[in-house]
């Protein structure tokens, strides 16, 4: 099997490789991917540093052309790349192709942004002086990504980093090197000068840690667990570097008595179980008022019976496997914790066998949960959802906000009054009315509050707050 190598200073390097395993079929090896060392990471950082002066002053048309070409190739290869994504991560093929299309759209959006970055010219408070405010590239950006969106998250970090003139050292999650390698290969062939984008696949504790410890990394953008996020923060403060964190969620979805039951059930099923519940915007707390509670639980349970758990590549699969054995153990541990805490297991809870050996878990629904239980407070990151019964809207809102996290928050209601009040008072970066908590556009800000996020928003034009630094220049006329 050929080894997919790391890209350092424009050269493909590395011979120490690990196997990328398909979670739908653990007999299927997706490919072999090189494992970088701490020294490789240092070489990548040095290459990015050396490439920065040239790239940050490069013409915006050159950057536009490379990003546009990348978007076009990703789109042209959406079925092939979507299949690779579904094979290495386990989300269903339609979800994986959708994510691939989104990556192409993100590159296209930021191709356009290269031509739109504007500053300001304003008068000084002193006579005969002009003031210009401009945005400049930050320097070497370290990009550390998780496994749950193997192509979209790298795209929404790499595209703005390059668009605004930064150079990049990119470390994808160990479980999903395939999509990471593919987009780096596409960008490299699209004409990036050597050293502008470096790929270092490998362990967080080795490659990621080397990035955290380097004084030459000017900014780090990270998506992953709260624990690692805190390490990124501490190391970044040490080096006086910019950092941006997207971490966990425990997103609430409120269902009020006046909700359209079909809308509520569809949104709850999507939020909780699609992509195997492995989205940071997934909803694992359904907060339901008394008058609709029993009807909602009955209808959601009926819906869960229709969801097919199977191989991600099979037509008709609604829920693919859990990503790996470690995550599966975390999910089943939480199912035991929920039972032990006194929540009622209303549906699922068991592993399922399919034709291929894989990490298959039934969609799992707890009822009679309280918001104080661990299953309601801690991120599980699997297809495990609990229903919390509340008296009225006020209790629903208070319960929704009673969490250390604040990424996304949803409500199902036909009341304009409650929808409006919820949009204003939900303590979250994103609020959804009659829509799943997950599923966002690519051209508007993404991010959260409280324990979910730190730093400027990602995506859309707001991304420039992180990937550029502001300069104020004064000139005597």
Task: Specify the residue, 157 or 318, whose C-beta has the smaller distance to ligand ADP.
Answer: 157
Are the CB atoms for 99 and 438 separated by under 8 Å?
no
Please pick, from the candidates 31, 165, 208, 249, the single residue that binds ligand ADP as defined by CB under 6 A.
208
β-strand partners of 326: none
Please state the closest distance from residue 450 (CB atom) to ligand ADP, in A: 18
Please state the closest distance from residue 218 (CB atom) to ligand ADP, in A: 16
Q: Is 198 in the site for ligand ADP (CB under 6 A)?
A: no
Please pick, from the candidates 124, 205, 472, 475, the single residue that binds ligand ADP as defined by CB under 6 A.
205
Please state the closest distance from residue 367 (CB atom) to ligand ADP, in A: 27
Are the CB atoms for 296 and 413 separated by under 8 Å?
no
Please state the closest distance from residue 225 (CB atom) to ligand ADP, in A: 3
What is the sign, positive or negative, of the torsion defined by CA atoms of 296, 297, 300, 305?
Answer: negative
Q: Is 228 in the site for ligand ADP (CB under 6 A)?
A: yes
| Among 64-72, 185-193, 207-215, 250-258, the segment contacting ligand ADP (CB under 6 A) | 207-215
Tokens 């989205």 locate to 279
CA angle 101, 106, 109 (to 5 degrees): 125
Question: Of the listed 88, 246, 266, 378, which one is catalytic?
Answer: 246
Under DSSP, the state recorded for 239 is T
Q: Is 249 in the site for ligand ADP (CB under 6 A)?
A: no
| Among 176-184, 187-195, 206-214, 463-471, the segment contacting ligand ADP (CB under 6 A) | 206-214
> Is 266 an annotated catalytic residue?
no
β-pairing, 140-144 with 167-171? parallel
Task: Specify the residue, 139 or 208, whose C-beta has the smaller distance to ligand ADP.
Answer: 208
Q: Is 225 in the site for ligand ADP (CB under 6 A)?
A: yes
CA distance to 18, 21, 28, 91, 174, per residue, from 24 (Å): 18, 9, 8, 9, 17
- Residue 459 makes CB contacts below 8 A (sequence gap 6+) with 106, 156, 442, 443, 444, 445, 446
Task: Specify the residue, 245 or 299, whose C-beta has the smaller distance to ligand ADP.
Answer: 245
Please state the closest distance from residue 30 (CB atom) to ligand ADP, in A: 17
Question: Of the listed 174, 266, 280, 378, which one is catalytic?
Answer: 280
Please pick, from the candidates 67, 161, 212, 269, the single residue that binds ligand ADP as defined by CB under 6 A.
212
Please state the closest distance from residue 280 (CB atom) to ligand ADP, in A: 9
- The SS3 assignment for 322 reads coil
Task: Specify the residue, 225 or 301, whose C-beta has the smaller distance to ligand ADP.
Answer: 225
What is the Cα 239 distance to its own chain's centre?
A: 25
- Residue 16 makes CB contacts below 8 A (sequence gap 6+) with 34, 35, 37
Q: What gap in Å lies between CA 89 and CA 102, rounded to an integer?
A: 16
Please state the closest distance from residue 202 (CB atom) to ligand ADP, in A: 8
Please pick, from the candidates 64, 69, 230, 231, the single residue that binds ligand ADP as defined by CB under 6 A.
231
CA distance to 97, 150, 177, per residue, from 79 (Å): 6, 15, 18
Please pick, from the candidates 144, 162, 183, 282, the single residue that binds ligand ADP as defined by CB under 6 A.
144
Q: Is 142 in the site for ligand ADP (CB under 6 A)?
A: no
Please state the closest distance from residue 5 (CB atom) to ligand ADP, in A: 18
Q: Is 349 in the site for ligand ADP (CB under 6 A)?
A: no
Please state the closest distance from residue 278 (CB atom) to ligand ADP, in A: 9
Provide the terminal-to-terminal Cα distance of the chain, rounded to the nearest Å. 66
- The SS3 assignment for 165 reads coil
Please pick, from the candidates 82, 150, 224, 447, the single residue that binds ligand ADP as defined by CB under 6 A.
224
Instruction: Give the binding-site size for ligand ADP (rule: CB under 6 A).
Output: 16
> Is 280 an annotated catalytic residue?
yes
Q: Is 146 in the site for ligand ADP (CB under 6 A)?
A: yes
Task: Specify the residue, 224 or 272, whose C-beta has the smaller distance to ligand ADP.
Answer: 224
Which stretches of 190-260 are DSSP H helices? 209-213, 226-238
Which stretches of 21-172 are DSSP H helices? 38-56, 60-76, 78-89, 93-114, 152-163
Please pick, from the candidates 83, 134, 209, 415, the single residue that binds ligand ADP as defined by CB under 6 A.
209
Q: Is 145 in the site for ligand ADP (CB under 6 A)?
A: yes
* Helix-strand-coil split of the chain, %, nearest 5: 40, 25, 35
CB-facing half-sphere around the CA of 425: CA atoms within 13 A: 17
Q: Is 214 in the site for ligand ADP (CB under 6 A)?
A: no
Please provide the size of the chain in residues: 477
Q: What gap in Å lies between CA 382 and CA 323, rounded to an integer?
A: 9
β-strand partners of 170: 143, 199
Query: What is the set of active-site residues?
Result: 246, 280
In the complex, the residues that contact ligand ADP under the rule CB under 6 A are 144-147, 171, 173-174, 204-205, 208-209, 212, 224-225, 228, 231
């Amino acid at each position: 099997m050929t080894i997919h190598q790391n890209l350092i200073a424009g050269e493909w390097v590395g011979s120490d490789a690990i196997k990328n395993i398909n979670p739908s079929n653990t007999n299927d090896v997706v490919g072999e991917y090189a494992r970088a060392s701490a020294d490789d990471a240092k070489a990548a950082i040095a290459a990015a540093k050396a490439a920065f002066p040239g790239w940050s002053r490069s013409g915006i048309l050159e950057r536009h052309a490379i990003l546009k070409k990348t978007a076009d190739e990703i789109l042209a290869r959406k079925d092939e790349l979507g299949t690779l994504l579904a094979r290495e991560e386990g989300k269903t093929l339609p979800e994986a192709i959708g994510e691939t299309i989104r990556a192409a759209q993100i590159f296209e959006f930021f191709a356009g942004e290269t031509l739109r970055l504007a500053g300001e010219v304003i008068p000084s408070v002193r006579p005969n002086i002009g003031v210009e405010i401009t945005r400049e590239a930050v320097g070497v950006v370290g990009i550390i990504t998780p496994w749950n969106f193997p192509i979209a998250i790298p795209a929404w970090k790499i595209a703005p980093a390059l668009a605004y003139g930064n150079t990049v050292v990119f470390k994808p999650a160990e479980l999903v090197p395939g999509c990471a390698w593919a987009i780096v290969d596409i960008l490299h062939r699209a004409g990036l000068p050597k050293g502008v984008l470096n790929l270092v696949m490998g362990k967080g504790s080795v490659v990621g840690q080397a990035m955290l410890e380097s004084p030459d990394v000017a900014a780090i953008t990270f998506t992953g667990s709260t624990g690692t996020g805190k390490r990124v923060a501490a190391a970044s403060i040490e080096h006086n570097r910019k950092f941006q964190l997207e971490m966990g969620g425990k997103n609430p979805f409120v269902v009020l008595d006046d909700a359209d039951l079909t809308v509520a059930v569809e949104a709850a099923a999507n939020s909780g179980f699609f992509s195997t519940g492995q989205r940071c915007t997934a909803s694992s707390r359904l907060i339901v008022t008394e008058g609709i509670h029993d009807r909602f639980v009955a209808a959601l349970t009926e819906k869960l019976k229709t969801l097919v758990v199977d191989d991600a590549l099979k037509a008709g699969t609604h829920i693919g496997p859990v990503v790996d054995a470690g995550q599966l153990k975390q999910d089943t541990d939480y199912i035991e914790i929920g039972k032990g805490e006194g929540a009622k297991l209303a549906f699922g809870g068991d592993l399922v066998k399919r034709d291929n050996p894989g990490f298959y878990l039934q969609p799992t629904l707890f009822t009679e949960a309280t918001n104080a239980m661990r299953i309601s407070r801690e991120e599980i990151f699997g297809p495990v959802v609990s229903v919390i019964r509340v008296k009225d809207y006020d209790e629903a809102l208070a319960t929704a906000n009673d969490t250390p996290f604040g990424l996304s928050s949803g409500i199902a209601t036909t009341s304009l009054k409650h929808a409006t009040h919820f949009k204003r008072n939900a303590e979250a970066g994103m609020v959804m009315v009659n829509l799943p908590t997950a599923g966002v556009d690519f051209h508007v800000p993404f991010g959260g509050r409280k324990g979910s996020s730190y730093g400027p928003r990602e995506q859309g034009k707001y991304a420039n707050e992180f990937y550029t630094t502001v300069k104020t220049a004064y000139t005597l006329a």
